A and B are shown apart, each in its own frame.
Chain A
Amino acid sequence: MIRYLVRRLLQGVLTLFCVVTIAFVLGRASGKPAALLLTEGATAQQIDELNGRLGFNRPLGEQYLDYLGGLLRGDFGVSYRNPSAPAITLIAERLPATISLALISFAIGLTVAIGAAILIHITGSTRLRATFVWGGSLRQAMPDFFFGVVLVLILSVGLHALPSLGFTGPLSYVLPVITIATGQFVLYVRLLDSALSEQSTQDYVVTAYARGKSQAAVVVGEMLPNALLPILTMAGMNLAGLLGGTVIVETVFAWPGVGQVLMQAVSTRDFAVVQAGLLVVAIMFVVVNLAVDLLYPVLDPRVRLA
């Protein structure tokens, strides 16, 4: 078990190293940032001078080693736009907004999907299934930015019930959470419905009925845990994706999250911030995936390591 964990952690570190390197290479490949920092009328000489001052005229190998060395010391560099702010601080102060939005939306989407799938299979109602599938298709047909704007128009502008932009208190969560959670819900309710249908024909389910178990108890106690197993990996990847920031939703609702700050940093070639942000996102990916891998043996005794 410990050896497995160590191996997985080393794999994670390798993944992070690759992400860091790719972020560096892609960033440098896109050009030097000085032209974007200066006003439009800046001369080529001024631009070159600023690039030189920021260290971008040094050989790439030197810049790379310098960067890696900084990472090991926990130094991610400073934002070129905002030299007083360490890049990592800019990312870190946005993390709570992103993480809370991601976790709440994910939890609600998944929980409601589980409830709906259970309901479909306990009642055996084809009408209920059709309703969820139809509603799901409708939601999926709308891109997040459109669905989000519709929500804002109806609930904020029309009914004045909820705040539409930024973060002004707990109520601010409602609209972005609805937007993300409904998207997640659609995904999981379909996967779970088909996974439960598959389980319902398994022999152990017939055995459970044969010993006198009720349908509700069989669906929840026997079929659901088996149906959740194949969903787990996908749910983990989705959660990791949400934790990395949802650029579109954050933009629609002016949500002060990581996605937004990363977008800005990319468009202004604020390399230090992009690199710090990508590293943080990658760390969350690695951590969530590791958590999922560790969860499998807890849920499924067949994959438990000796």
Chain B
Amino acid sequence: MNDSIRADVPLLSVRDLRIVSDSGDEQIVLVDGVSFDVFPGETLCIVGESGSGKSLTVLAVMGLLPPALRIGGGSILFQGREMIGLPERELRSIRGRGIGMVFQDPMTSLNPLRRIGPQLTEAVRLHNPRASRKDASARIQDLLQQVGVTQPERSTRAYPHEWSGGMRQRAMIAMAMANDPDLLIADEPTTALDVTIQAQVMQSLARVRAAHDSAMILITHNLGLAVENASRIIVMYSGRIVEFGDVATVFEQPTHPYTRALLASLVTGGRERIPAIPGNPPSPRNRPQGCAFAPRCALHAGRDVCTQKRPELRPTVSGSLSACHFAEELLMVGTAS
């Protein structure tokens, strides 16, 4: 690692990120006003329901938004370099080398027609054209061993369908770590796996990440994973950040009713129940004029400001940032109970 990078200089700095979809004359805003920093070596967690914009945010960082979407504004600095508008060739040299990514569904993330080995060693060779096949292979075998794949020499000759989901996700982790990236992005890395395998794969991920001192953005809707792995947490709702703070603070003193509801469902709902927040998130096409969460909010209580004025993300006394007009009421309730 480069010693001249001080811990207070962010590795990744996202400012006012806006992701839009142009469909006909109408512009749909899918992600709006998202700002955060990731510091070297830390783990930042992003939680939120599906459709909240968390995956789009990290895909934008990779420069891999689907063709129908585009970045409508803002800035993404990685190691001080602006990623938005960077030529494809330079983006390519960052993907897989500066930033590695693990995707949600290991069953579909590998090319079914190619052997696993070549798909993994390719990650090394793309960024080290002079590395021999043998060196690249040795590097991958080593990584596979680190993430808990036994007998990697033999098994990498297999095709993806011959591996279990857990094994494939380990392979994906090895691929993402192939070039010792400074930043690892894991987009719901265990969601598609059996519950029994989830913990093992998460441990492998945490172990290999720590060993290589990479920072990580962990996207999940499992708050338990957030507590175990992250130092800071972002809660997203309907394309915006609604709460942002240290994990411990956010869990003890949530400053947004959505976060509070998520936590409540975690405690009372147990493992089998889906978070019981009444209603559904608004469609990005017709978000309420005021707070996007207002229609589902218990704190709202018919107050006009919630339906008329969109709350900005602001500091609260707990130390977290909150996008709720009445964050302080939550804190009072929190201390009273």
Q: Digit string of B77-98 for contact with A (CB within 8 Å is 1, else 0)?
A: 0000000000010001111110
- The yes or no answer to A203 lying at the interface (CB within 8 A) is yes
- The yes or no answer to A17 lying at the interface (CB within 8 A) is no
Q: Digit string of B163-194 for contact with A (CB within 8 Å is 1, else 0)?
A: 00000000010011010000000000000000
Among B50-107, those with CB < 8 Å from A are 62, 64, 66-67, 88, 92-97, 100-101, 103, 105
- The yes or no answer to B308 lying at the interface (CB within 8 A) is no
- The yes or no answer to B248 lying at the interface (CB within 8 A) is no
Among A212-247, those with CB < 8 Å from B are 212-215, 222, 225-226
**Which of chain B's residues have a CB closer than 8 A to the CB of A204?**
108-112
B-contacting residues of A (Cβ < 8 Å)? 124, 201-204, 206-215, 222, 225-226, 299-302
**Which of chain B's residues have a CB closer than 8 A to the CB of A300?**
112-113
- The yes or no answer to B264 lying at the interface (CB within 8 A) is no
**Which of chain A's residues have a CB closer than 8 A to the CB of B123?**
211-212
What are 5 A-B pairs with beta-carbon distances under 8 A? A210-B100, A210-B103, A212-B94, A212-B97, A212-B127
Among B167-226, those with CB < 8 Å from A are 172, 175-176, 178
The minimal Cβ–Cβ distance linking A224 to chain B, given in whole angstroms, is 10
Contact B108 A211 (CB under 8 A): no
**Which of chain B's residues have a CB closer than 8 A to the CB of A299?**
113
Contacts A207-B103, A212-B127; is A302 near B122 (CB within 8 Å)?
Answer: no
Contact A212 B111 (CB under 8 A): no
Closest to B62 in A: A210
**Which of chain B's residues have a CB closer than 8 A to the CB of A124?**
67
Closest to A299 in B: B113
Main secondary structure of the interface of A (DSSP, over half): helix
Cα A209 to Cα B93 with chains together (Å): 11
**Which of chain B's residues have a CB closer than 8 A to the CB of A210?**
62, 64, 95-96, 100-101, 103, 176
Cα A181 to Cα B159 with chains together (Å): 36
Closest to A301 in B: B159
Among B245-272, those with CB < 8 Å from A are none
Contact A212 B93 (CB under 8 A): yes
Contact B122 A211 (CB under 8 A): yes
Cα A302 to Cα B64 with chains together (Å): 28
Contacts A209-B64, A212-B127; is A203 near B103 (CB within 8 Å)?
Answer: yes
Contacts A204-B112, A301-B112; is A211 near B161 (CB within 8 Å)?
Answer: no
Interface hub of B93, B101, B110, B111 (most chain A Cβ within 10 A): B111
Contact A301 B161 (CB under 8 A): yes
Contact A213 B122 (CB under 8 A): yes
The minimal Cβ–Cβ distance linking A250 to chain B, given in whole angstroms, is 38
- The yes or no answer to B126 lying at the interface (CB within 8 A) is yes
Contact A212 B92 (CB under 8 A): yes
Cα A300 to Cα B113 with chains together (Å): 6
Interface hub of A124, A299, A301 (most chain B Cβ within 10 A): A301
- List 9 additional A-B contacts (Cβ < 8 Å) besides A212-B127, A301-B113: A203-B105, A203-B109, A204-B108, A204-B112, A210-B62, A212-B92, A212-B93, A212-B96, A213-B126
The minimal Cβ–Cβ distance linking B55 to chain A, given in whole angstroms, is 11
